[in-house]
Every structure is written in structure tokens, then in C-alpha cells.
Structure 1
Amino acid sequence: MTVISTDKNPEALSLTLVAEFDAGVERVWQLFEDPRRLERWWGPPTYPATFYKHDFVPGGRASYYMTGPGGDKAHGWWEFTSIESPRELQFDDGFADSDGNPTGEFGISHATVTLEPLGERSRMTMLSTFESEEQLEQMMQMGMEEGLKEAVGQMDGILAEHANA
């Protein structure tokens, strides 16, 4: 399992996930930069993601949906606020309608993904911050922490496939 720890901090309105990989930061970065690789792990195995827009530049947007076991679709969006390849990525995140437009439902969260080299390995720290304690609790009740752990747990398999990429 790649996930080392998760920490929910109601005082800081945050959820932090730390994972380590048997791959350098450049290869882990590709799992965010390439939408075909991103959609293979973003979302737990029972809710795979499809990215139909992925404008990976500061100010750019990504639009996606996750398809549940019964065929239901949960739509989301990201707005990239900072990209410092291959070390740090920041984006705002929220729910969307079927056309990819933000709904405002459940508020907006902000994610900061930091990649650090550990020799030939790497550590990823994913910090999600929320607008309120109520929003944080809503996301936890919806299964965000467990879903994120399951999603990130899929990254090793993709990295192994692309070991020579």
C-alpha cells in the first residue's frame, strides 16, 4: 500500500494524505499531467473517473465525472491555481453539473499536491483544505478519506506499467 498516513484536522479545516512510491517525482507527476493516466487512479476502484477536459496550465480547468457501480455519474471540476512542474500542483475543486459547470453544492476545497524526491523514490503529500468545519465533515461522511486512500492506492500499478516511460 502506497498510502503512509492520513490526518483529518478540524482546527486547520484540512485532510492530509501522505504516500510514497517506487518512482521518481517526474514519473509521479505524469499521473497528474496526463489525463489518461490521471483518470486511471482518480476516484476509487468502484467510482472510476473520466476526464473530458484537462487544460493543465495555471488558470486552466479540468472537468470530469466518476461513474458509480450503478451507472450514476458524479461530476466535478478543478481549476489549476499553481503548477510548478514536477514538484507542486495546486487546484480548487468542487462539484459540477453534467456540463462541467460548478454547482456550488458542498462548497469548494483547495488541494496542494507536493512531490519530494527520496532517492529514486518519491513522497507525495496531498493537502486538502475546506471552507468550514461543516464542509470538512460533509466530505468525510461522503467517504472522501477512504475514497482518496483507495484512489491513491491505484497509483503504484500505473507507475509499474510505465516504468520505462
Structure 2
Amino acid sequence: MPVISSEIEKDAMTLVLTAEFDAPPTRVWQLWADARQLEQWWGPPGWPASFPDHELAVGGYSPYAMTGPDGATSAAWMRFTLVDEPSALEFDDGFRGEDGEPDGSMPVMHGRVELEAVDGDRTRMVTRMRFDSLDDMERILGMGMIEGMSSAMGQIDALLRGDAPPRP
């Protein structure tokens, strides 16, 4: 599994996941930039994601949904606030209601992803998800965010090797 560490920084209200991959940062960047590749790993196993529109640009909006094995759907959105290809991106990430609009009853997370070359052609990806309050962080972590993100990132190695099973 590519996730080598997960840390909860309570004082900073931040979850930090660090993963390493056998590919250069330019290749790992494509996993974020290309919607079809993002769909192959963003949702955890059994919860494939779909990104009907994906705009990786400052101000770009990407609505998405993850569908569980029982057909339940979790709709969400990202809005990108920083794009520094191929080394960093930042985004706000939240849930959407049935009307497609942001769900104000759920927390918004603020993500930062840094891609760094290590050991030649490998990449270290550090993903920081910051919350507006400790209550928000505990609520989302209680929904299984660490496990979900870790298992989602665990699908990246097969995708990079080109032998990932197709997702619905």
C-alpha cells in the first residue's frame, strides 16, 4: 500500500497522509489532472467515483459522486484554489445535496497536495486536509476518512503499472 503514514494534527485541525509511488511527479500529476484517471482511484474500493466535469485550474469546479455497492451515492464537489503543475494543488472539498448545490449542513475541507521527487523516479505525495473546526474534523474522521483515503490511494500503484482492474 502506498500510504506510508497518516497523522492527525489536532492543533492544526489537519489530517496528513503521506504516500509514495514508483513514478515521477509528472506522471502522478496526471492522476489528478485527467478526470478518467482520477475516477480510477478517488473513491475507495467498492465506491467508484465519477467526475462528469473536471477543471483542474484556479477557480475550476469539479462536481463528483461516489457510488457504493448498494447503489447509495455520495455527491461532492471540489473547487481548486491553487494549481502549480506538477508539484502542488489546493482545493476546497465538500458534500452536495440532492439539488446539486453544496450541502451547508456538512463540513468543507481544505486540501493541499504536494508532489515531490524522491529516489530518482519516485514521488512522495503529501495530502493535507484541513478543517474549519475540531468538531468538523472529528465528524469527518468518524465517517472513516482515513481508511477511505488510504484505501483509495492504495489503488494508485496498479493504475500507474497499467494493470488496474476497470472500475464501473
1:157 aligns with 2:158: yes
1:14-163 maps to which residues of 2 (within 5 A)?
A: 14-118=14-118, 119-161=120-162
Aligned length in residues: 162
Task: Write the deviation string for residues 138-160 of structure 1: whole angstroms up to 9, x where unpaired.
Answer: 11110000000000000111111
Q: In 2, Cα distance between the equivalents of 1:136 and 1:77?
A: 18
Structure 1 residue runs without a partner (length 5+):
none
TM-score (norm 1): 0.95
Whether the 8 Å contact between 1:106 and 1:138 is mirrored in structure 2 is: no
How far did residue 71 of structure 1 move? Answer: 0.1
Bigger drift between 49-58 and 100-109 goes to 100-109
Structure 2 residue runs without a partner (length 5+):
164-168
Q: In 2, Cα distance between the equivalents of 1:9 and 1:21?
A: 24
Aligned AA for 1:25?
P
Alpha-carbon spacing, 1:65–1:83, altered in 2? closer, same or farther (3 Å): same
Aligned AA for 2:64?
Y
Q: In 1, Cα distance between the equivalents of 2:55 and 2:121?
A: 29
Sequence identity percentage: 45
Alpha-carbon spacing, 1:37–1:24, altered in 2? closer, same or farther (3 Å): same
Q: In 1, Cα distance between the equivalents of 2:105 and 2:156?
A: 29
Aligned AA for 1:11?
D
Aligned AA for 1:130?
F
TM-score (norm 2): 0.94
SS of the residue 1:124 aligns to: strand
How far did residue 46 of structure 1 move? Answer: 1.6
Q: In 2, Cα distance between the equivalents of 1:121 and 1:62?
A: 28
**Which residue of structure 1 lines up, in the alignment, with residue 166 of structure 2?**
none
SS of the residue 1:149 aligns to: helix
Task: Write the deviation string for residues 39-86 of structure 1: whole angstroms up to 9, x where unpaired.
Answer: 110010021101111011100100000001110100000000000000
Q: In 1, Cα distance between the equivalents of 2:10 and 2:54?
A: 31
